[in-house]
Amino acid sequence: MDWARHNALEREFDRFAAEVSDPLLRTGHLMTGNAKDAEDLVQETLLRVARQWRRVRSMDHPAAYARRILVNLVLKDADRRSRHRAELWPQDDAAEAADEAAARALREIDDAAEFRCGLAQLPPRQRAVLVLRYWADLPVAEVADILGCSEGTVTSTASRAAARLAEVLGPTAPPVGHIRNSATVKGTV
């Protein structure tokens, strides 16, 4: 009978993973700005949840637990991923200028694409606050709990991040609330 219980737990975890994978992937992509990194982080998150599944399955909000693992992985590994990309893809100044010109042209195509580009320019913790607070629609208290900081820190970080994002996006940027409610952002990320 032990094998039957194990198989039931495995099927239960598979259902859970299928249910949370897309939201975790969107969160990871918004926080890292890179689909491959997001996929890797979601896999690591699900692996960590699977290792603790007997305990996690009895939690009130196992998806919130998984999201917290993902956010912590993103914040912990942000410097390493940045360093890794710089080592793998060194760029000279001419290529950088051409890439920036191309990026500017692409940003004009779509508000959502422009927004994601601007979001990627924020420091990891500011990105985390904006993504959790405005896209995951989490209350300030829950964001503070996930990030291990005070509610005041979340509020002030959100304010600074929104101001920085507005600065990055320039004077034609739509308000943060407009982007958050846009179907294109949620549907394409």
User: What domains sit in the chain, N to C, each tagged with a CATH number?
Assistant: 1-89 (1.10.1740.10), 91-189 (1.10.10.10)
pLDDT digits (tens, 9 = 90+) for 40-98: 999 999 999 999 999 999 999 999 999 999 999 998 876 665 555 555 544 544 444 44
pLDDT band at 144 (very low <50, low <70, confident <90, very high): very high
- Phi, psi values for residue 150, rounded to 5°: -80, 160
DSSP 122-183: S-HHHHHHHIIIIIS---HHHHHHHHTS-HHHHHHHHHHHHHHHHHHH-TTPPPHHHHHT-H
144 or 172, higher pLDDT: 144
Q: Residue 110: what pLDDT?
A: 54
Give the Cα separation of 24 and 42 in Å (integer).
6
The pLDDT of residue 186 is: 42
pLDDT, averaged across the chain: 78
Report the alpha-carbon distance of residue 154 to residue 161 in Å, rounded: 10
More confident residue, 104 or 2: 2
Confidence of residue 182 (pLDDT cuts 50, 70, 90): very low
> What is the predicted pLDDT for the residue at 137?
84
User: Between 50 and 134, whose confidence is greater?
Assistant: 50
**26-30, 106-110, 120-124: which has the minimum mean pLDDT?**
106-110
